[in-house]
Structure 1
Amino acid sequence: MQNKKIKKVKVGDFEFDVVLADNFIKRGLGLMLRDIGDKAMLFLYKRRKITMHTFFMLYPIDVIFIDKDMVVEAVRLKPWKSYKCKNYSTAMLEFKCRDAELNKLIGEKVEFMRG
């Protein structure tokens, strides 16, 4: 997959312009202490169960875990929480909390659009 060319991600009724977390520093900092507006941050990695935190976050976030281009898990997290994904995944999408039932996204196909 040519990571740097991914510009948008579509999941169900949601479509996001993405900021790629494509190096060690970007993956380590994620959305801490920053606001990327209506965009989402996309993390790509080798298949595993991710453990993450929302320390130093400025707002609650929704997180979608993706494996084989399908949503396998979704969670809403407030700042200063930690979370361990129960499923294996190869990608994670983080964005500002939306007014949506995240569980309805599980099983949805994820489309990665390149620009």
Structure 2
Amino acid sequence: MQNNKIKKVKIKNLEFDVVLADNFIKRAFGLMLRDIGDKAMLFLYKRRKIAMHTFFMLYPIDVVFIDKDKVVEAVRLKPWKSYKCKNYSTAMLEFKCRDVNLDELIGEKVEFIR
């Protein structure tokens, strides 16, 4: 999947305007110490198992890991936690917790809208 200025991401009944983590600073800080409202942050990378943390986060987040345009893993994390994805992925979507059963997203197709 290429960046090509992705503007939205849709998964099942969820739709987000996205902020691309497309440079070193955005990738390093992610959502730490900031609030992007109802948007989501999209990280694109080479296929691997991602390790991440929620240090300095202001709120709990949902994190969706994507590979081959499908959700391969999803987790809800409170601030000050760390997590290592169990599956390989090429993208990660972070957003404020939603009233959604994350387990139901596993295997769902992800649509990237430019």
Scaled to the shorter chain, the TM-score interval is over 0.9
Q: Are 1:70 and 2:70 matched, yes or no? A: yes
Aligned-pair distance for 1:82?
0.0
Give the aligned partner of residue 98 of structure 1: 98
Where in structure 1 are there 5+ consecutive unaligned residues? none
Q: Deviations over 1:17-56 (max 9, x none)?
A: 0000001110000000000000000000000000000000
How far apart in 2 are the matches of 1:58 and 1:49?
A: 25
Report the residue type matching 1:32 in the other structure. Answer: M
The list of structure 1 runs, each at least 4 consecutive aligned residues, that deviate by more than 2 angstroms after superposition, is none
CA RMSD of aligned residues (A): 0.8
Question: 1:14: which partner in 2?
Answer: 14
> How far apart, in 2, do the equivalents of 1:21 and 1:4 lie?
13
Q: How does 1:1-115 map to 2 (within 5 A)?
A: 1-114=1-114
TM-score of the two chains, using structure 2 as the length reference:
0.98
Secondary structure (helix, strand or coil) at the match of 2:103 reads helix
Structure 1 residue 69 displacement after superposition: 0.1
C-alpha contact 1:74 1:106 (8 A) present in aligned 2: yes
Contiguous gaps of at least 5 residues in structure 2 = none
Identical-residue share of aligned pairs (%): 87
Name the CA distance, whole Å, in 2 between partners of 1:2 and 1:23.
15
Normalised by the length of structure 1, the TM-score is 0.97
Secondary structure of the equivalent of 1:27? helix
In the aligned structure 2, how far is the partner of 1:41 from the partner of 1:53? 14
Q: Deviations over 1:38-91 (max 9, x none)?
A: 000000000000000000000000000000000000000000000000000000
